[in-house]
Structure 1
Amino acid sequence: MKKWLPHPLLTPILALVWLLLNNTVAPGHVVLGLLLGWAIPRFTLGFWPERVRIHRPLSLLRFLGVFLFDVLMANVAVAGLVLAGPRSLNPMFVQVPLDLTNALAVSLLANTICLTPGTVSARLSSDQRTLLVHALDCTDPEQLIHTIKTRFEAPLKEIFEC
């Protein structure tokens, strides 16, 4: 079974992403989404460094809710910054020390930061212990580090590294 469906959780997630990208639930797109959701994990199995283990699925759902809320709030904040003009910006690079050791969790953290408007993951240190983050408007780097670690890193650690 694992040979034919190596990542059972990833299949419906990829299908859902396909439907969201196409903005339709037409039967053809549902079938194509499920086919892609099955084929992508199946044919990329050799590229996965380790089997993905989600230790706390409910924490994953809570993390997704927090992430979506933060994306919404960040969109509003960035729109305000754009309307206020470039003089109101305080861009800054911040070094965020990482407690995560799971490669997938580190990747998800970096992507979460990039998908949140106003912040971008710029570089992961060679020892994978520090993430360089660029913030569009940052007046308190310690607060930014605290926010990233509590809202994103801690839940990912709970989900993937218990």
Structure 2
Amino acid sequence: MKLVELAKKAINLLQDAGDKGFNNIDLAQKLHMPRRRVYDIIAILRAAGLVEAKREKGGTRIKWRGIPVVSEVKPDSSVSHDLTEKLDKITEEKNELESQIDELKDKILKLKEEQETSTMEVSTIKTKFEVQKISIKTLKSAKITKVQTSPIEIILEADKKGFVIEPG
């Protein structure tokens, strides 16, 4: 028979014996097992606080104590109230931060949309040259797409930036 089964039978016998208890030698005879097994079972039950063992003449008397009852502990109401207030405050701060994050996300999205839809306007500074010739320097890859002339000004349009106009 396994130790677990023997322990269950020993517990049942001790519970049935009540306040009278059992002598360890009698318990070993009743369970038909060696005393060393009874000592093992009793040691475990004592460690768990389920039985009391008292040495007597002619053996050890074992009494069932039962499972210890744990009483319910109620926290101090002022401590509980303080913790509740702190929790409420932290929750409120968290909600406020989340709303600020949402507002910032919306602003970023609006700025991205504006950036994508807006066109860049390049303003130029008109310089008056008192000459009849000018030189235009540009990148090799830049191409002039349109030239307009009038008696007053010359307008150049290109596909890229990077023009330098100097008096020639």
TM-score range normalised by the length of the shorter chain: under 0.3
Higher helix fraction (1 or 2):
1
TM-score (norm. length: structure 2): 0.22
Higher strand share: 2
Bigger relative contact order, structure 1 or 2 (CA pairs below 8 A, ≥6 apart)? 1
TM-score of the superposition, structure 1-length normalised? 0.23
